[in-house]
Structure 1
Amino acid sequence: MKHYNSREEVALKEKWNLEDIYPSKEQWEEGVKKVSELTNQLKAYNGQIHNASDLYQYLCIDEEVSKTFTLVSAYARLGNDLDTRDPQSQELLNKAESLSFALSEAVSFFFPYLLSLPEETLKNYLKEEPKLAYFEKDLMEMYRYKKHVLSSEQEEIMSQMGQAMSAPNQIFRMINNADIKFGTITKEDGTKVELTRGMYTQIMRNGEREQRKEAYIAHYEPYIQLKNSIAATLSSAIKNNVTVSKIRHYPSALDKALFGDDVPRSVYEQLISTTKKHVGGLHEYAYVRKEILGVDELHMYDASVKLVEDVEQERSFDDAYATMLKALAPLGKDYIETLSSFKDQRYIDVRETPGKMSGAYNMGVYGVHPFVLLNHQDDINSLFTLAHEMGHAMHSHFSSNHQPFPTARYSIFVAEVASTVNEVLLIHHLLNEAEDVKMRKYLLNHFIEQFRGTFFTQVMFAEFEKITHERAENNEPLNADNFNEIYQQLFKEYNGDAYTLDEQVKYNWARIPHFYRPFYVYKYATGFASAIHIATALLTGDKQIQKNYLEFLKSGSSDYPLELLKKTGVDLASGEPIENALNYFGNLVTEFKQLEY
């Protein structure tokens, strides 16, 4: 595998082309100027929308500025992510962020204004100006919040309190990213070095057992030392959520979080209860791990180490792309031809280079095309990452090309469906192709681990959030001891008794940034289960299922997430997709356990 010391060493075909957004920085500056001018025009509408025509004109300008800002922001962010050290790209990003704040402030009056209108007035406006039909869904969706919106004076106070209310998240980010100093570990030559996150991940997967134990203790050391500060921060975040929910007249913080996607509380609660009924497969997998590792006691520092060694096969990016296209054949000719073109048209930035943003993501840019960032390593993990991100990219492509701007962006609730469908189809293809038993066992283990992290762990986190918020709503104390007690109990319930619980286990809540974005993580689990349901159906070769799934990809946010998923045959309200996913997991564990090489 080649290492790249600069972007100049990377082949042109493996670098995305930002000129597809703006051919030059000068034209980007023109976009910035346009956003500023249109922002001022929007601001002037404050108190000046008196009839249907005024409303339509405002909404047209709002859409125009939003489209332009999307281009300005994408150009700046994508450019910065190619080299986060570059001062010029940082300057562009700072300009884009300043524009965002100004735009947000300029339009802050509109939501309270709209909800101050009697519903009959808004309906009359829609009749008087036929062109308003284009914006009707968005307008009526905003109107759904009417009973949760306060008076204009109260809304202004809430707006002013926004920064203070977000303080717990900011404080945790600073603690976790800037101030945390991990303990030291021993290198092979006997010297001590400070542990980093990157080192920790590698050691947990590949290190010898004593080294893993040492790294595990060092990793948790600062979180335990700062337990009271972090607990106070998390407690404040939870209490803020509860307080805002009460002020806005929601039955609970959970109900407030579910309202936007129109998801019934029963879906959230059923996800948890169904998972806990079928958690036996995860318990069995822990015992399988313990047996394969040959340890008397299974600890959390044993939880990520590879169970199948020496099967890594180098795969070039071209080979990985070709393999992915073969695996996704059940999605049909149109899907495959479109996806194939993404590679040739330079929608993907492939290689890891100095200063480049780590990880991988897709950014759909409306009116242009998706941009996919990778740090491809020519290995099997990179193949899975490729399939995952291209699932997002195809979702963005289809939605942008079949939906108007207001409904083109899909909800976070369904965001992981398309990516995981691709991964399930890929794992199925690779398992069918695997002639070597050891490779088959490796692939099964890869998917089991993904299942464990994306489904079971996220459901456990979701229950932790539910319990802690309910305690706050009942005015019960929340501190480090309470968080420890809740987390440790949940860990035992989900993971079984194969693990010997070290002191560090109960402190895992202290390092989870998702807890500062309330009731978000459950969407990983529902998306994962939905994807397994869809992919399993696609593998039957039923053309109607294929057609229904492609229609889902084209739907953007044209309806609420649960309704969109019903197009694919997934009814999360029934609980069936969760049951099916858990049975699927059980079968994976059974085959993995029985395979011998």
Structure 2
Amino acid sequence: MFVFGSASGQSQVKKIPQRSEIPDKYKWRLEDIYPTDELWEEDFARVKALLPEMDKFKGHLVESGKVILDCLVMQDSIWMIFDPMYVYAYMKLDEDTRVSKYQEMSDRSGSMLSEVRAAFSFIDPEILGIRQEKLDELVKGEKGLGLYRHYIDNILRNREHTLSVEEEELLAQAGTIARVPRTVFTMIDDADVKFGSIRDERGDEVQLTKQRYSRFLESSDRRVRKDAMDTYNQAWLGYINTLGSTLAGSIKKDMFYARARKYNSTLEQALHANNIPQEVFNNLIETVSNNLEPIHRYNSLRKKYLDLDELHKYDLWVPLVPEARMEIPYDSAVAIILKATKPLGKQYVRDMQAGFNSGWVDVYETEGKGSGAYSWGAYGTHPYMLLNYNNMLDNIFTVAHEMGHNMHRFMRHGVQPYVYSGASIFVAEVASVTNEMLLMDYLLKHAKNKAEKLYLLNYYIEMIQGTFYTQVMFSEFERDAHARAEAGEALSASSLRQIYRNIYQKYNGPDLVVDSLDDLSCLRISHFYRNFYVYQYATSLAAASAFSQKILAGDKEALTRYNEMLQAGDSDYPIELLKKAGVDMTYPEPVNATVELFADLVEQFEKLLLE
């Protein structure tokens, strides 16, 4: 299942295939949502026609519990038509972002989203306008509203941040404008930026893409690594002022909504959405930024072992054990993941296997395809997963991660009513990272020799560094950039890069030489367009580490609680769902345990490497 060999012995990089060249078994089946685009158009028209029906509830929610119930049921019904329509349009676009038809359909869906939100925008203010005693009486008197108790409680929690009906409608209509910075960035990222070509290890000229870039950064040939990073950065440099403006615009958008809703800061608003105590965020950054020595030690070891006079950013991904380099074909990756996740139970594995075989996954990179990887779907459809699989070790972890999201979606949709069928990222990332932890445990246990174990330990260290330390570093950048904007300072590409540069140097330590274009990273990270989002990757890794240790130890009660959490959707607040499952993120123990795990792995790796 593994192919082992030197990094310099990479297989020849071929031209990016057309979608028509990929066998159907490696493509998702969006026709399971809509067999034809005409059916999509019918649902678009249905939503358009149904929205005015919401007007009959405006100003009448105070009249009876039945009116409230009928209003909430209709809201859910419209969302259940809209969601598949929205998801389909954007996933069709991701099949080939150059196709104007799907650019238009996704744009129409985005505009429709603003209309839908505007049509529902009166609900929260009207419920908040009902006296608490009266509301309790209405809910108690209408049996069907029992289902919506948590939903209503969540509205009441937002009382001081909810505006008048007219103001809420205005904010909802502003959604189309608010999406512009992210939309512009996405079009540059997916369609406009071209990376040119470099010469590979054999001297052959090869077109550089995002997927090939990650491969070249792992090359044992330092010239290839440097050329790949320089060429990649030069491509982004051509958009530097636009990217600086879009990110600054996104931060201003965050400030607009925070101030409009009477929050003290953008951070307060972002955390309040899921009822996350602010100390969880602050303690995470404080704990991690005060425990950077293991990363500095690891970078020092890397510099020493690679025998470098200077350690540069393009040296950070080359495996320190290239003789055990792993390349894993997709079908083999699926087989390994199914074995690795057996501790989650027979039903989990059966459902996952069915998903792999039933059009859930779009596997390979093709011309014009959306970049990266994600899990998505809508209530009433099976989950979907976009990949750009390239046989590298990190890709099998991507498959395990995104399939963790798919299974979480599949499990909660199978149990929860629509109103609670979603999931906070705070919990959703636990479902995906736990799968990664189980996969790593399986691979380490099945390592055939010292070289393989070293390679996997190396990967494990970098997995935690990327998912935990790096995401905290990103979060610190977000915090500081937003704080400067909130203090009235102007943000530009230059000032954003300087903020990032200082934090990047702090986290990576004195052994890393930060080159002039290394700080461009802050302008090309899509997650920054969803403010204060990435910290949840770090908290989720800490929680996932705790869950996986219990599950691997055979703790059946822990497994039961974990599966109940996956099925719970957002029927309770994220912090509470994790508490019920056995991990309390309001205390520092999970974060401290992850810091200790990282330090222990670095120590193990160094000892084994230098034996």
> TM-score, structure 2 length as denominator?
0.87
**The 10-residue stretch of structure 1 (342-351 or 429-438) with the greater mean CA deviation from structure 2:** 342-351
2:53 aligned partner, one-letter code = Q
Q: 2:13 matched to 1:35?
A: no
Q: 2:125 aligns with which of 112, 117, 120?
A: 112
| Equivalent residue, structure 2, for 1:271 | 284
CA contact (8 A) 2:118 2:170 kept: no
2:73 aligned partner, one-letter code = C
| Equivalent residue, structure 2, for 1:57 | 70
Q: 1:186 to 1:364 in 2, by over 3 A?
A: closer
Supply the RMSD in Å over aligned alpha carbons: 3.4
What secondary structure is seen at the aligned counterpart in 1 of 2:586? helix
2:453 aligned partner, one-letter code = R
* Within-5 A mapping of 1:550-565: 550-565=563-578
CA deviations 1:322-346 (Å, max 9, x no partner) are 2212211221222222223323444
Distance 1:446 1:58 in 2: 51
Q: 1:181 to 1:102 in 2, by over 3 A?
A: same
Distance 1:509 1:253 in 2: 19
Q: 1:315 to 1:21 in 2, by over 3 A?
A: same
Q: 2:145 matched to 1:139?
A: no
Q: 1:78 to 1:122 in 2, by over 3 A?
A: same
Q: 2:582 aligns with which of 537, 545, 569?
A: 569
What secondary structure is seen at the aligned counterpart in 2 of 1:362? strand
CA deviations 1:4-42 (Å, max 9, x no partner) are 956666555444444543455555454344333322322
Distance 2:197 2:348 in 1: 49
Q: 1:199 to 1:344 in 2, by over 3 A?
A: closer
Q: 2:377 matched to 1:364?
A: yes
CA deviations 1:539-570 (Å, max 9, x no partner) are 11111111111111111111111111112321
Q: 1:469 to 1:376 in 2, by over 3 A?
A: closer
CA contact (8 A) 1:38 1:61 kept: no
What secondary structure is seen at the aligned counterpart in 1 of 2:376? strand
**The 10-residue stretch of structure 1 (142-151 or 225-234) with the greater mean CA deviation from structure 2:** 225-234
Any stretches of 5+ residues in structure 1 without a counterpart? none
1:406 aligned partner, one-letter code = V
Aligned pair count reads: 597
CA deviations 1:240-277 (Å, max 9, x no partner) are 43454334222322111110111111110110111123
**The 10-residue stretch of structure 1 (252-261 or 481-490) with the greater mean CA deviation from structure 2:** 481-490
* Within-5 A mapping of 1:1-20: 12-20=24-32
What is the percentage of aligned positions where both structures have the same residue? 38
Q: 2:59 matched to 1:21?
A: no
Q: 2:354 aligns with which of 334, 337, 341?
A: 341
Q: 2:229 matched to 1:216?
A: yes
| Equivalent residue, structure 1, for 2:449 | 436
CA contact (8 A) 2:121 2:169 kept: no
* Within-5 A mapping of 1:127-166: 127-159=140-172, 161-166=174-179
Distance 1:166 1:96 in 2: 12
Distance 1:199 1:58 in 2: 51
2:321 aligned partner, one-letter code = V
| Equivalent residue, structure 1, for 2:542 | 529
Q: 1:186 to 1:436 in 2, by over 3 A?
A: closer
What secondary structure is seen at the aligned counterpart in 1 of 2:375? strand
Residue 538 of structure 1: CA displacement? 1.3
Q: 1:252 to 1:104 in 2, by over 3 A?
A: closer
Distance 1:477 1:494 in 2: 25
Distance 2:454 2:412 in 1: 37
2:155 aligned partner, one-letter code = M
Q: 2:591 matched to 1:583?
A: no
> TM-score, structure 1 length as denominator?
0.89
Distance 2:436 2:501 in 1: 32
**The 10-residue stretch of structure 1 (334-343 or 76-85) with the greater mean CA deviation from structure 2:** 76-85
Q: 1:492 aligns with which of 475, 481, 505?
A: 505
**The 10-residue stretch of structure 1 (549-558 or 230-239) with the greater mean CA deviation from structure 2:** 230-239
CA contact (8 A) 1:364 1:397 kept: no
Residue 466 of structure 1: CA displacement? 1.7
Q: 2:428 aligns with which of 396, 415, 419?
A: 415
Distance 1:513 1:347 in 2: 24
CA contact (8 A) 1:43 1:107 kept: no
Q: 1:156 to 1:16 in 2, by over 3 A?
A: closer
Residue 225 of structure 1: CA displacement? 7.3
Residue 575 of structure 1: CA displacement? 1.0
Residue 357 of structure 1: CA displacement? 3.7
Q: 2:518 matched to 1:505?
A: yes
Q: 1:577 to 1:188 in 2, by over 3 A?
A: closer
Distance 1:372 1:243 in 2: 33
Q: 1:373 to 1:196 in 2, by over 3 A?
A: closer
CA contact (8 A) 1:183 1:221 kept: no
Q: 1:473 to 1:313 in 2, by over 3 A?
A: closer
CA contact (8 A) 1:400 1:408 kept: yes
Q: 1:547 to 1:478 in 2, by over 3 A?
A: same
1:387 aligned partner, one-letter code = A
Q: 1:104 to 1:117 in 2, by over 3 A?
A: same
2:431 aligned partner, one-letter code = A
CA deviations 1:83-133 (Å, max 9, x no partner) are 445566556545544543442333233333333333333223212322122
CA contact (8 A) 2:150 2:572 kept: no
1:40 aligned partner, one-letter code = P
Q: 2:415 aligns with which of 402, 406, 409?
A: 402
Q: 1:335 to 1:148 in 2, by over 3 A?
A: same
Distance 1:19 1:236 in 2: 37
Q: 1:358 to 1:87 in 2, by over 3 A?
A: same
What secondary structure is seen at the aligned counterpart in 2 of 1:537? helix
Q: 1:305 to 1:564 in 2, by over 3 A?
A: same
CA deviations 1:495-546 (Å, max 9, x no partner) are 1111123233345433333333221111111111111111122111111111
Q: 2:313 aligns with which of 278, 292, 300?
A: 300
